[in-house]
Amino acid sequence: MPGIFTSRPVANDSSSEACFKMAQYWLKTCLETHYSLCQVQGSLSLPTRVLDVGLLESPFVNLYISNGRHGQWLTLSHCWGETQPATTTKANLNNHSTKIIISTLPQTFRDAILITRKLGYQFLWIDSLCIVQDSLIDWQEESVKMNTIYSNAVLNISADAAADSFQGIFFSSNRKIDGRTPLLPPPRPDLIQIPVHSPKTGLKSTLFANGWWLHYNGFLDNDHLQERGWVLAEAVLSRRRLRYTSSGLAWSCAQVPSLCEETRPHLIHDLVEQEAYIHSVYQIPYESLPPRYVHEPETGGRRWEIIDWWYGRVSEYINRKLTFQHDKFPAFSGIAKTYSNRTGYRYKAGILVEDFRRGLLWQTCGRPVDIEVAPSWSWAVVGHGGITFPRIYEWIYAHQTYVADPNEVELIDICVTNLHDDPFGQVISGSLILQGLCHGLHELLKTTEFYFSFGWVSHEDCRDRNYRPLSGGYTLSQGALKLYMDTKDESNSTLWRREDIHILRIGMFSSEPMSGSIEYRQPPVEATSFLLLQEIPGLEASYRRIGIARILGPNVEGPDWKMKTVTIL
């Protein structure tokens, strides 16, 4: 049967020898056969401190001060949870350097030590033990190295299913995690067991059929760890990941675009696609992306994917949870720095300067914004759970592109002050100076049909206006203005009475007629996008962003559109 039926059941306990063997097999395959993307080049300095896990049976580990020595190490991604896990502090640093008794460590750490030993490695990096937690200086020095700690590690062990450091990494069907019944107690409900028998050879076996896509979409990303903001950078920057999820073991690496799971371990061979879509930051070449990149169907397919990858990660990140909102930029900095290094695009408070027109057109689903965290023009002002770049996706998937347009907005200056002068770190202040066509919203709405993306504007208020609430499945009529407010604010309902709101034209985007079979061919569509800006009282020509807007149709015209230079804070 091997070679024909490759699916296998999920183990009851992922600390079993069979599971370690599978992890060893995945790692060996990746180390020996995945050359270009998965491998770290050259000999590498260890992180400042790493856990020396010692011998398999030893009851002790210790914190090893590397002093720049070279070596290989694993990393751990885990949820801290409500209670602080075991930490290294100024007071216990010396003791930890000598000896840590494993039985005093939380279960997740103990499991990670066992995995490191079983895979034959000596060093393991765990944030709470390898950074001195009560030293601000140490935290600052070490956090800027996080990029290389994850990207140069041999493997990232990901404790997906555990809500905190005490629950342990290994999923066992015999226990309940977080009060939940394990999602897939064996035999898995989506794993159909079919007894098979060959009368010719007399061979008897069991065929396991599984709902692989259901499994992938339904479970893996629901685990605790995948909700955490900091973990996205750890996942993106790690070249190889061994994930202990609530539905079994999974493998991913820079060269395997989809998850290779316990039920089908041999997918590690089938899934390797060097030229597949860009799924890993390591597939982005060190090659300057042209500024204001415009889609070129003949040569630019991969470049579109590079742009797409960025906006995909931002959207994914903003939907994750952070304990402290001031971590909004620091927790994303590893991804931003790596992307910026590879593409040559400059990064300012979440925006790629060379792609600023698209980058400014993020859209929220009405979550509160916090201008203490970021300037109003940055997506980072939005709280957990809700931005998209719908325009980006339209442009990409409908092959839309910029239209050469003399009236598009120009960037005059972008000035961001960061804490500790780290351009990827926490933002203290930021101003964006743009020059473009402006119009008072109040005046514009007198003559233009318009729609709100949110339904909280009362119909009473809108009577006798050109306003219509939007509902699902609408079609935006040609020439009508659609307003997407950033927050669900009461004051939105009186927007058209107010004279302090302005609309700034960003640019026109157009789809090319699609080639290919008739069913996919579409007529070209043109749309113009805008920022909605509110005057800041007492500051001349200074504004705060409150939303975006869009007109389906060609360029806006008329003498009331004035070229202005505006500062957005």
Binding-site ranges for Zn ion (CB under 5 A): 30, 34, 38, 253, 255
Comparing CB distances to Zn ion, the nearer of 253 and 444 is 253
Give the whole-angstrom CA distance, residue 136 versus residue 77. 22
Comparing CB distances to Zn ion, the nearer of 270 and 499 is 270
The C-alpha angle 546, 547, 552, rounded to 5 degrees, equals 150
CB 31 to Zn ion: min, Å? 8
Strand 410-418 and strand 427-440: pairing? antiparallel
CB 239 to Zn ion: min, Å? 7
Strand 387-388 and strand 100-101: pairing? unpaired
Comparing CB distances to Zn ion, the nearer of 242 and 441 is 242
Helix, strand or coil, per DSSP, at residue 328: coil
> CB under 8 Å to 437, separation ≥6 — which residues?
407, 409, 504, 505, 556, 561, 562, 563, 564
Comparing CB distances to Zn ion, the nearer of 260 and 566 is 260
Give the whole-angstrom CA distance, residue 75 versus residue 77. 7
CB 248 to Zn ion: min, Å? 19
Comparing CB distances to Zn ion, the nearer of 11 and 38 is 38
Comparing CB distances to Zn ion, the nearer of 28 and 459 is 28
CB 158 to Zn ion: min, Å? 15
Give the whole-angstrom CA distance, residue 100 versus residue 109. 12
Helix, strand or coil, per DSSP, at residue 211: coil
Comparing CB distances to Zn ion, the nearer of 34 and 482 is 34
Contact 309, 281 (CB under 8 A): yes
Give the whole-angstrom CA distance, residue 529 versus residue 555. 10
CB 232 to Zn ion: min, Å? 20
The gap from C-alpha 134 to its chain's centroid, in whole angstroms, comes to 29
CB 254 to Zn ion: min, Å? 6
CB 34 to Zn ion: min, Å? 3
Give the whole-angstrom CA distance, residue 525 versus residue 255. 37
Comparing CB distances to Zn ion, the nearer of 34 and 78 is 34
The one-letter amino acid at 355: D
CB 1 to Zn ion: min, Å? 27
Q: Which of 264, 167, 177, 153 is nearest to 216 (CA)?
A: 264
CB 253 to Zn ion: min, Å? 3
Both tokens of 280, joined, read 């890993």
Helix, strand or coil, per DSSP, at residue 256: strand
Comparing CB distances to Zn ion, the nearer of 30 and 278 is 30
* DSSP letter (8 states) at residue 149: H
CB 266 to Zn ion: min, Å? 14
Give the whole-angstrom CA distance, residue 86 versus residue 89. 10
Comparing CB distances to Zn ion, the nearer of 38 and 546 is 38
Cα distances (Å, whole numbers) of residue 274 to 51, 242, 267, 299, 424: 34, 20, 15, 18, 30
